[in-house]
Amino acid sequence: MAELRVVVVGAGGRMGRALIRAVADESRMRLVGALERPGSAVLGMDAGTLAGIEPLGVAVTDHASDLFDGADAVLDFTSPAATLAYAELAGTRGLVHVIGTTGIEAQDEETLRLASHGARIVKSGNMSLGVNLLAGLVRQAAAALGPDFDLEILEMHHRHKVDAPSGTALLLGEAAAEGREIALGQHSVRVRDGHTGPRERGTIGFATLRGGSVVGDHMVVLAGEGERIELTHRAENRTIFARGAVRAALWAHEQKPGLYSMADVLGLST
Ligand SMILES: NC(=O)C1=CN([C@@H]2O[C@H](COP(=O)(O)OP(=O)(O)OC[C@H]3O[C@@H](n4cnc5c(N)ncnc54)[C@H](OP(=O)(O)O)[C@@H]3O)[C@@H](O)[C@H]2O)C=CC1
Ligand SMILES: O=C(O)C1=N[C@H](C(=O)O)C[C@H](O)C1
């Protein structure tokens, strides 16, 4: 198989730099482009140097169309607005588009669905193997225990994170809701403040913590009368997400256009 030609968008970001290192480490891929937004301070820099490795001979640019024309796959951990625009571009060119960006609103999912008529999109709030396995455990536990066990999802991330609850917390919430055969949107409690009254049976609660340099911690608590189960994942670095994105791109290249999840990539779909 020829090397997959990959563009990393948001190249100067925390995930962008981890993605550049992961692509450089993968013999079945070649970095052909590094994209940043117009006006970014890192435009013109070598992508390898930016990522803290050897120079790769790829300068960071803001010319999305030119880069997409010469690519097979785009790895995108940026912002919702940027990702929606890149999905449309990837769709017109039939590219693989791996989307790690979180905080995309439900009403914008339609844009991704339309783009996936042309593009092979893999989208997940968390690209790590561990979290996707955890989602299966949460689904199973929620189904087995039912609403007698109160379900709460706690997450903590670094002080720079801009969206809440995290994409992972929502992914785990969806897994729990699937296990209980309910719709998450109608049963989630995302904020508590003041005189809230007692907990409503059958709801799924979210709690958000932000601080320091925490890469990403998630805990799902199933609290019953007299006992409690806690299912936890702690990300120790961003390589786990970047490695997952690389795996997703290689997998998606062999698929038909469509909208896929990380569970599809890992063969964990129910
Ligand atoms: N699914 C998963 O496994 C994971 C998902 N994430 C998600 O990935 C996203 C990025 O996270 P993180 O790397 O920490 O954030 P950063 O803010 O560090 O990186 C985002 C980068 O995207 C750049 N950017 C913004 N707009 C554009 C544009 N139009 N074109 C090109 N680049 C653009 C930003 O530039 P500038 O700063 O100049 O605006 C920045 O360099 C978040 O949504 C986060 O939740 C993170 C980790 C794992
Ligand atoms: O913004 C982050 O950093 C992360 N975002 C993802 C999320 O919203 O869940 C994944 C990971 O936890 C890191």
Q: Ligand 2, atom 2: nearest CA belongs to which residue?
A: 161
What are 16's two structure tokens? Answer: 């962008």
Q: Is the pLDDT of residue 270 over 80?
A: no
ipTM of the complex: 0.99
Q: Where in the chain is the domain with CATH 3.30.360.10?
A: 129-235
Binding-site residues, ligand 2, Cβ < 6 A:
102, 125-126, 157, 161, 166-168, 216, 235
Render the burial of 10-42: b for 16+ CB within 10 Å, e for the rest.
bbbbebbbbbbbbbbebeebbbbbbbbeeebeb
pLDDT digits (tens, 9 = 90+) for 174-199: 999 999 999 999 999 999 999 999 99
Distance from residue 155's CA to the centre of ligand 2 (Å): 10
The correct answer on CATH 3.30.360.10 for the domain covering 129-235 is yes
The fold adopted by the segment(s) 4-123+238-266 is Rossmann fold (3.40.50)
Q: Which atom of ligand 1 is nearest to the CA of 80?
A: 43
pTM listed for this prediction: 0.98
Pick from 76, 77, 241 the residue to mutate for probing ligand 1's pocket: most ligand atoms within 8 Å of its CB: 77
Query: Catalytic one among 97, 157, 218, 233?
Result: 157
pLDDT digits (tens, 9 = 90+) for 4-44: 999 999 999 999 999 999 999 999 999 999 999 999 999 99
pLDDT digits (tens, 9 = 90+) for 119-139: 999 999 999 999 999 999 999
Render the chain in DSSP notation, one character per residue.
Answer: -PPEEEEEESTTSHHHHHHHHHHHT-TTEEEEEEE--TT-TTTTSBHHHHTTSS--S-BEES-HHHHHHT-SEEEE-S-HHHHHHHHHHHHHHT-EEEE------GGGHHHHHHHTTTSEEEE-S---HHHHHHHHHHHHHHHHHGGGSEEEEEEEE-TT---SS-HHHHHHHHHHHHHHTS-HHHHEE----SS--SPPTT-EEEEEEE-TT--EEEEEEEEETTEEEEEEEEE--SHHHHHHHHHHHHHHTTS-SEEE-HHHHHT---
Distance from residue 97's CA to the centre of ligand 2 (Å): 18
Q: Does 125 appear as a known binding residue?
A: yes
Instruction: Count other C-beta atoms under 10 Å from residue 48's C-beta.
Output: 18
Q: Where in the chain is the domain with CATH 3.40.50.720?
A: 4-123+238-266
In sequence order, the β-bridge partners of residue 222 are: 151, 229
Report the half-sphere exposure of 87 (CA within 13 A, side-chain side).
Answer: 30
Summarize the confidence of residues 87-113 as an average pLDDT: 97
Query: Catalytic one among 63, 123, 160, 161?
Result: 161
Q: Which atom of ligand 1 is nearest to the CA of 78?
A: 22
Q: Does 226 appear as a known binding residue?
A: no
Average pLDDT, the chain: 97
Q: Which atom of ligand 1 is nearest to the CA of 42?
A: 38
Contact 7, 73 (CB under 8 A): yes
Let me know if 63 is a catalytic residue: no
- Model pLDDT, residue 21: 98
Ligand whose nearest atom lies closest to the CA of 171: 2
Q: Is 84 near ligand 1, meaning CB less than 6 Å away?
A: no
Q: Does 15 appear as a known binding residue?
A: yes
Q: Is 132 near ligand 1, meaning CB less than 6 Å away?
A: no
Let me know if 123 is a catalytic residue: no
pLDDT digits (tens, 9 = 90+) for 192-246: 999 999 999 999 999 999 999 999 999 999 999 999 999 999 999 999 999 999 9
Q: Does 126 appear as a known binding residue?
A: yes
- Model pLDDT, residue 235: 98
Give CA angle at 147 (219, 228), nearest 5°.
45
